[in-house]
Amino acid sequence: MKSLSASFIMVFSISVAYAENEPVWGFSPVLSYSKPKLKLFNEKELKAPIILTANSLDEVGNSIKTPFTFSNPLDDIEAGLSGGVEFQWRVHKNHSLVLGYSSWEGTSSGTINANFPLQEILSNTIQHRKTKLSYNDFFVGWRYRLFQRNRYNFYFQAGVNELYDIDFREDLNFEFVDIRSDTVVGALVSTPQRNIIVQAQSTGNMMLQFGGGGEYFLTEQFSIGFEAGYSFGLEDATLKNQQRRWDFLAMDNISTAALNLPTKKVDNETYYLSDYYYDEDEEEYIAVYEKLKLDFDSWKVMLKFTVYY
């Protein structure tokens, strides 16, 4: 503990002495443009259908067990903008300690029109699907000044990112165009819509980041800069504590056991629908699920405005 305290005092003394020549502290609002890899999420979860086996009325009014596939594939989550802040402490002429925070959110949505069984009636249905993935990003790193000429400063940077509060949400909305209160025997349909909301979270994911950048000093204490870097995870993240909320009614003849969504909770982790097949003996679809792993490896470019003091 004494050696650690002595080291801190020495570094602080160096920074104070250096302050006589240049500012020591820096604060930067940051605008970022980044693209997490999310290969499995984009290629599998966003493309997975809803499969179910439900009863429907045939042409003469008999109730028959019928398999259905309801597919609404979404586009990949692309690169997007995010905002954040950065603090730096210049402990030596060429060395700085950097702390940063930012948040990121990606969404994908789509709408289709297809048939869906409700209360044994095969209804023309409009389905809206929206998927959102978000996280907060805390960064701590070291910055080394490569060289400085006139008003230009160029540097290399390395550090550790901690992604936390990783949140997943999927909204599935069904509008039953053909359903009316006088078409359902023994039941009054109060609304021609049903909703399913799926949510899951992950506590954190550790990543390493390397990059570099440069800045142009407009004045002695104000600069505008550009930075680019690449982050890669030590391991993939998994989503836990999945929760489902839906407002399907008992009279709809749609059960949670029969309705296979793009994701499913297995042993408190989120799995995605990887495959399915029809079992003729059981007269129903059999769904195959695999663990959903999130690969957050990503490149990032940043525009920053720094005030030194």
With residues binned 3-state (H G I as helix, E B as strand, rest as coil), the percentages for the chain, rounded to 5, are: 10, 65, 25
| 47-71 per-position pLDDT tens digit | 999 998 887 777 777 777 788 888 9
pLDDT of 307 above 90: yes
**For residue 3, is it within any domain?**
no
**For residue 9, is it within any domain?**
no
CA distance 114 to 127: 8
Q: Token pair of 122, please?
A: 């095969």
Q: What is the pLDDT of residue 46?
A: 97
Q: What is the pLDDT of residue 5?
A: 42
| 75-129 per-position pLDDT tens digit | 999 888 899 999 999 998 899 999 999 999 999 999 999 888 888 888 889 999 9
Q: What is the pLDDT of residue 251?
A: 80
**For residue 242, is it within any domain?**
yes
CA distance 125 to 175: 5
- Which pairing describes strands 269-279 and 263-266: parallel, antiparallel, or unpaired? antiparallel
pLDDT band at 256, cuts 50/70/90? Answer: low
Q: What is the pLDDT of residue 3?
A: 42
CA distance 136 to 134: 7
**For residue 6, is it within any domain?**
no
Domain extent, residue 39, equals: 23-308
**pLDDT, average across residues 226-232:** 95
Per-residue DSSP letter, 178 = T
CATH code where residue 60 lies = 2.40.160.20
- Which pairing describes strands 269-279 and 237-238: parallel, antiparallel, or unpaired? unpaired
**For residue 13, is it within any domain?**
no
Contacts of 308 (CB under 8 A, 6+ apart): 22, 23, 25, 26, 220, 221, 222, 223
3-state secondary structure (DSSP) of residue 250: helix
b or e along 16-40 (b: 16 or more beta carbons within 10 Å of the residue's beta carbon)?
eeeeeeeebebebebebebbbbbeb
Name the pTM for this structure.
0.84
Q: What is the pLDDT of residue 1?
A: 42
Q: Is 285 in contact with 52 (CB distance < 8 Å)?
A: yes
Q: How far from the centroid of its chain's Cα atoms is residue 149's Cα?
A: 40
**Radius of gyration of the chain from its Cα atoms, rounded to whole angstroms:** 27
CA distance 171 to 244: 10
Q: What is the pLDDT of residue 138?
A: 95
b or e along 49-71 (b: 16 or more beta carbons within 10 Å of the residue's beta carbon)?
bbbbbbebbeeeeeeeebebebe
**For residue 220, is it within any domain?**
yes
* Start-to-end CA span in the chain (Å): 31
| 139-154 per-position pLDDT tens digit | 999 999 999 988 999 9
How many domains, in total, are found in the chain? 1
Q: Token pair of 25, please?
A: 């502290």
| 176-200 per-position pLDDT tens digit | 887 655 544 444 455 578 899 999 9
Q: What is the pLDDT of residue 22?
A: 65
